[in-house]
Amino acid sequence: SRTITFSDYLPEELLRIVEQQAEEHEYSLAEGTGEALLKYFAELPKGPAFGNGRTARQTFESMVERHAGRVAQLAETNTDDLTLLYPEDLPELPL
């Protein structure tokens, strides 16, 4: 049996995947969010369960969930509130 091993994506490539996911779902990254994502992906443990593209997608999905919780707490919202993802929407790094 043969095993094909793929190299891990670079943080910049994972960021691009998140940017594409955001665009497809009509979200935008607020100022500083791209830099926060690069740092997050650089610090993310890359053990045997590291999922490359899946990791970027799961990170985006977690950000959307955290965003929804944050926006639900606002008394009034505007378009930016509903569409911008901020650094605080990033999930906590796993230990």
Domain parsing of the chain, residue ranges? 11-89
Least confident of 5-9, 43-47, 59-63, 86-90: 5-9
pTM, entire model = 0.89
Class of domain 11-89: mainly alpha
Task: Tell me the average pLDDT across 1-27.
Answer: 91
Angle ∠(17,43,7) on CA atoms, nearest 5: 55
| Cβ 37 vs Cβ 60: under 8 Å | no
pLDDT score for 57: 96
Is pLDDT larger for residue 26 or for residue 48? 26
Is pLDDT larger for residue 52 or for residue 84? 84
Torsion sign across C-alpha atoms 43, 39, 84, 77: positive
Integer Cα distance of 16 and 73 in angstroms: 29
pLDDT-based confidence at 78, cuts 50/70/90? very high
